[in-house]
Amino acid sequence: MAGFSELIKNFDKTRDYVRDFFIYGCKVRSDFERKSIRTYGDEKRRVESWMGDYMRYDDSVHGRSVSISVDSGHIPENPLYNAYYSKSFTDNDIRLHFLITDVLNDGQSRTLKEITDTLNTEYAQLFDEQTVRNKLREYVEEGIIISEKNGKTLYYKLSEDRADDYINRYTGLDDALKFFSETQHFGIIGNSILKMLGLKNDLFFIKHNYMIHTLEDILIPEIISAINEKRHISFRTFSAKRSNDGDSSGTENQVVPMKILVSVQTGRRYLAAYIPGLRRFSAFRLDYMKTVKKGDTCEQYDEVKAKFDRNMEHCFGVSFGMRRETGTVTPMKITFFADEEKEHYIVERLEREKRCCKLEKSGEKLYTLTADVFDPNELMHWAKTFIGRIVRIEGGSDTVRKRFYCDIARMNRMYGGDEDEHIQ
Amino acid sequence: MNIFSEIYGAYFRTAAKLLENEITDEKTVRETVQREGFRESVLFLPQKLIPNGEDWGLFSRTPDGKLKRITKASPVSVLTKLQEMWLKAKLSDPRIRLFIDDKTLSELNDRLADVSPLYKNEHFRFTDRFSDSDDFYNENYIKNFRIALDAVKKRKIVYIEFVSGHGKKMSGKFVMLKMEYSPKNDKFRAYCYLLRHDKIRNSGIINIGRITKIVDTGRIFRTPVSMEDYFSSRKCSSPAVIKVTTERNGVERFMLEFASYEKHTVRDLETGQYRVELWYDEQDETELLIRLLSFGPVIEILGPQSLREQAKLRIKMQAELIAEYGDEKDV
C-alpha cells in the first residue's frame, strides 16, 4: 500500500472534503460513510497540512469533529489556495522543468536534439528525445517556452515574459496583484504570480469573503471557453441531498452555457444555462458540478442568448422559477414603512438593494416595491431582512404570501411575543 | 493550461527557491521547506532535494558536505499563458486604475496585445451586489484611494475630512492600517486609528468614497500596531448563538451564507439541528441581525440576549403591521 502523500492527483475528490469541513464546520469520520477510513484519514491529514492553524478540533459525543474555522474577513491570504498548489508530479517532471529552463536560460533558440544532447553532455542527465519533446510541447502550451519553425526544424526558446520584469516596469502592478489575488475572479492565479515573486498581500482584507469559491474556479475556464465558442457543455451534478441519500452517481447534464451568476450574499455561484431538452433556462450550482466538457457548437446560440438576456431582467436572484419560455411572470408588490425624515437610511437600503424591481413612494411614510420576477421566493428571502417594516404584500402566489404570514406568526411565538392575537 | 498544475505547486516553488543559490546546505533546505511548503512538507520534501539515491537529482554533494545545484543559473520566473490571460482580463477591470496610471496601463495593454483575456466581465453577473458601489472612474476617488493606500504602506499619519454614515462631517488625524474591500458593497474602506496628541484614541473604519479631503502630514506613526489588537477591539464580546434547523434545507443554506464568519458548530445527532456560535464585528450587528431574520423560523437566535431582544422587537412590530394592514384571507 502506498504511503501518505501531501500531493494529490484528483482535485474533485479533495473539493468535496474541503467543502464539507469548511461549510459545515462540523464533520466526524462517520459522516463520510461513502469513503473508506483510510481515505478519510489521508484527506483530513492533507487538509490539515494545507490549512495550518485554521483547523479546529472539538471532541464531541459522537467522535472527534474536525472543522475549519476562519474569520475570512481578517486574513490576508485564502488558505484554500493550497489545494491548487498540491498537484502531484513525477520525478522526471520536476527534473525536466528546472533543466530545460536552465538550458534555455541564455535566451538562445535550440532544437529538440540540441536540448537533449545538452542535457546529456553538460548536465549528465540521460533523457530520450520523446520524453523531452513531450515536456517541450507541454511548456509551449503553458506559454513558458516559445516554439518557432525555421524551415522544417522546430526551435525552442524561453519566453521573455518574466514576472519580476513586469513588476519592475509597471508601477503599481504589485499592489494590483495583492488586491486581485484575494478577489474574484480567479484570485488564485494572481496569488500564483505573487508567490513566484516572493510577495504577499500585506495591504488588503476582504469582507463578505466566500473563500470556498476558489475551489469552483477549476471548472470556470472550460465554461468560459464554451461560451466564447458558442458550444454546448456536459457535466455531472452531485447535490448534497442526493449524496446524503446514498446516491453518489450524480446526474449527467447537457446544456448551453450562458453566464456565471455570483451571489455575494448567499455564498453560492451558479452556471446559468439553457437546457435544450426541456426548452428552459436553469441555474446549476457550481459547487455541485464536476467534469465540465465542451461539446458541439450550438447553431442557435445568439438567439438563445438574446432570450436569456430578456429573461434575466426578471430574475431577482438566479431562479427562473418553474416557468417555461411561453409562461408569464408573476408581479408582486411589497409596501414598506419608512419615515424618510428620521429613517432615510431605510429608503437608501431599498434603493440600493432593489435590483430589477421598481421602487416608488406610495403614501405617507410608505414605499412600494413592484417586482416582476420569476421566483417570488427569492424576493421574499430578501424582503424578510425588512421584518418590522413590511406593511403589505400583494400579488405573487398565494403560497408565498401565506408562508410569510405564517412565518411571522411562528417567529412571534418562537421569540415569546404575545401569540398571534391579531392573526387568526 | 490549468491552474491545478505542478508548475505552480508548493514543491516546485520550494525547489526554485533553493536553486537560486549555487551552493546550499541541508539546514537551509529544511528551513526553506518549512517556510515555503505545507505544514508536513518537512517530512517528505527534504529527502527529495538532498542527495540520497532517492532524490530528484537537483543537487550534488560537494567534498565539504554542502549541496551544489546541477543547474547553471537561478531559475527564472516566466509568466505562463494562463497568468498573462488573467492579467489581461484584469486590465478591463475598472479597479485597476486605482493602482496603475493611464500611461502605464496603456503600456501594459500594448505588452499584452496578443494575449486573449481569460474572461470578460460580461461572462459573470453579480446577482445581489448593492447598486451604490464606489465610483472607480472618479478622479477624486482615485486620488484619495492612492493617498490612503500609500499611507497604509508607509504607516503615515494623514489628516482626513469625511462624512460619516449618519451624514455628520468628521475630521481628524489618523494612522492608516489596512484597506478593506467588500464584494457585496463593491466598496473600499480603510482600517485606522484616530489619533489625539499622537496617541491612539480609538479604532475606526473610513469609507474611501466618503472622504472629502485627505492630506499627508509628512509624519510616520512609529508605535508598533497589531492587527489582532485592532480586530479584537471591534469584535463582539460574546458570539451570536443560533439554532439552525433542517427545515427548508436550512442547515446547508445557513452554513453557506455564514461561511465567511468565524464560527463554532455543534450538531445534535438526534434532531440533525446545529447550534452555531458566530463571532462578528460589533458595528456589523444590524447587518447580522437582518440576515438572520431573513431565514425566518428556520433558525432561532438564542443569544446574546440583546440580539435576541432586537429580533423579538422587529418581529413584534411586523406582527402588529400584519394585524393592522394584512389581508386576512391570506392567513
CA-CA distance, A392 to A36, in Å (whole number)?
54
Q: Is there a contact between B253 and A266 if contact means CB atoms under 8 Å apart?
A: yes
The dihedral of CA B256, B261, B262, B266: what is its sign?
negative
Q: What's the mean per-residue pLDDT of chain B?
A: 94
pLDDT in tens, B179-237: 999 999 999 999 999 999 989 999 999 999 999 999 999 999 999 999 999 999 999 99
Higher pLDDT, B298 or A42: B298
Q: What is the complex's ipTM, to 2 decimals?
A: 0.96
Give residue A243's pLDDT band: very low, low, confident or very high (50, 70, 90).
low
Give residue B243's pLDDT band: very low, low, confident or very high (50, 70, 90).
very high
Q: Which CATH class is domain A87-214?
A: mainly alpha
Q: What is the pLDDT of residue A58?
A: 67
Which chain A residues are within 8 Å of B104, Cβ to Cβ? 170-173
Q: Is there a contact between B180 and A207 if contact means CB atoms under 8 Å apart?
A: yes
Q: What is the pLDDT of residue A331?
A: 85
Tell me the mean pLDDT in the region A213-240.
94
CA-CA distance, A324 to B300, in Å (whole number)?
37
Q: Establish if A381 touches chain B: CB-CB under 8 angstroms.
A: yes
pLDDT of A420 higher than 50: no
- Residue B44 φ/ψ region, left for φ over 0, alpha for ψ in the -120 to 50 degree band, beta for the rest: alpha
Tell me the mean pLDDT in the region B290-295.
97
pLDDT of A67 higher than 90: no
Interior/surface letters B281-300, b for 16+ CB within 10 angstroms, e for the rest? beebeeebbbbbbbbbbbbb
Q: What is the pLDDT of residue A250?
A: 85
Give residue B72's pLDDT band: very low, low, confident or very high (50, 70, 90).
very high
Nearest residue of A to residue B56 by CA position? A91
pLDDT in tens, A170-182: 999 999 999 999 9
Tell me the mean pLDDT in the region B166-180.
95
Q: What is the pLDDT of residue A328?
A: 53
The three three-digit cell numbers of residue B199, written as one number: 496617541
Tell me the mean pLDDT in the region B78-101.
98
The three three-digit cell numbers of residue A403, written as one number: 408562508
The shortest CB-CB distance from B86 to any of A11, A72, A189 is to A189
Q: What size, in residues, is chain A?
A: 424
Neighbours of A355 (CB within 10 A): 19
Q: Which of residues 111-140 of A touch B (CB under 8 A)?
A: 123, 125
Give residue A343's pLDDT band: very low, low, confident or very high (50, 70, 90).
very high
Give residue B330's pLDDT band: very low, low, confident or very high (50, 70, 90).
very low
Q: What is the pLDDT of residue A423?
A: 38
Q: What is the pLDDT of residue A325?
A: 42
Q: Using the structure block, give the residue that is written with the C-alpha cell 451571489.
A: A263
Q: Is there a contact between A415 and B311 if contact means CB atoms under 8 Å apart?
A: yes
Tell me the mean pLDDT in the region A111-132.
96
Nearest residue of B to residue A260 by CA position? B124
Burial of A256 (0-12, 13-18, 19+ CB in 10 A): buried
pLDDT of A4 higher than 70: yes
Of the listed ranges A326-330, B41-45, B324-328, the one predicted with least confidence = A326-330
- Residue B9 φ/ψ region, left for φ over 0, alpha for ψ in the -120 to 50 degree band, beta for the rest: beta
Q: Establish if A267 touches chain B: CB-CB under 8 angstroms.
A: yes
Tell me the mean pLDDT in the region A307-314.
94
Q: Is there a contact between A312 and B125 if contact means CB atoms under 8 Å apart?
A: yes
pLDDT of A57 higher than 90: no
Nearest residue of A to residue B190 by CA position? A204
CA-CA distance, B125 to A277, in Å (whole number)?
25
pLDDT in tens, B199-213: 999 999 999 999 999
Q: What is the pLDDT of residue A174?
A: 98
Q: What is the pLDDT of residue A1?
A: 43
Q: Establish if A368 touches chain B: CB-CB under 8 angstroms.
A: no
Nearest residue of B to residue A386 by CA position? B290
Domains A219-312 and A330-415 share a fold: no
The listed CATH number (1.10.3210, 3.30.70, 2.30.30, 2.60.40) that belongs to domain A219-312: 2.30.30
Which chain A residues are within 8 Å of B274, Cβ to Cβ? 26
* CATH 3.30.70 fits domain A330-415: yes
- B interface mutation test: which of A170, A171, A377, A413 has the most B CBs within 10 A? A170
Q: Is there a contact between B293 and A385 if contact means CB atoms under 8 Å apart?
A: yes
The answer to whether B179 touches A203, Cβ cutoff 8 Å, is yes
Q: What is the pLDDT of residue A14?
A: 82
Predicted structure pTM score: 0.94
CA-CA distance, B282 to B238, in Å (whole number)?
10
The answer to whether B276 touches B263, Cβ cutoff 8 Å, is yes
CA-CA distance, B179 to B191, in Å (whole number)?
6
The three three-digit cell numbers of residue B119, written as one number: 474572461
- Residue A293 φ/ψ region, left for φ over 0, alpha for ψ in the -120 to 50 degree band, beta for the rest: beta
The shortest CB-CB distance from B263 to any of A69, A390, A420 is to A69
Q: What is the pLDDT of residue A22?
A: 75
The answer to whether A105 touches A162, Cβ cutoff 8 Å, is no
The shortest CB-CB distance from B125 to any of A162, A227, A261 is to A261
Q: What is the pLDDT of residue A421?
A: 41
Q: What's the mean per-residue pLDDT of chain A?
A: 89
Q: What is the pLDDT of residue A27?
A: 61
The shortest CB-CB distance from B265 to any of A67, A192, A267 is to A67
CA-CA distance, A109 to A130, in Å (whole number)?
19
Domain-wise residue ranges, chain A: 11-69, 87-214, 219-312, 330-415
pLDDT in tens, A26-36: 565 556 555 56
Tell me the mean pLDDT in the region B56-73.
96
The three three-digit cell numbers of residue B82, written as one number: 494562463
Q: What is the pLDDT of residue B268?
A: 81
Tell me the mean pLDDT in the region B277-291.
95
Which chain A residues are within 8 Å of B320, Cβ to Cβ? 422
Q: Is there a contact between A143 and B81 if contact means CB atoms under 8 Å apart?
A: yes
CA-CA distance, B67 to B294, in Å (whole number)?
62
Tell me the mean pLDDT in the region A222-248.
85
The answer to whether B130 touches B185, Cβ cutoff 8 Å, is yes
pLDDT of A66 higher than 90: no
Q: Using the structure block, give the residue that is written with the C-alpha cell 509624519.
A: B219
Burial of A30 (0-12, 13-18, 19+ CB in 10 A): exposed
Question: What are the beta bridge partners of residue B61?
Answer: B67
pLDDT in tens, A129-182: 999 999 999 999 999 999 999 999 999 999 999 999 999 999 999 999 999 999
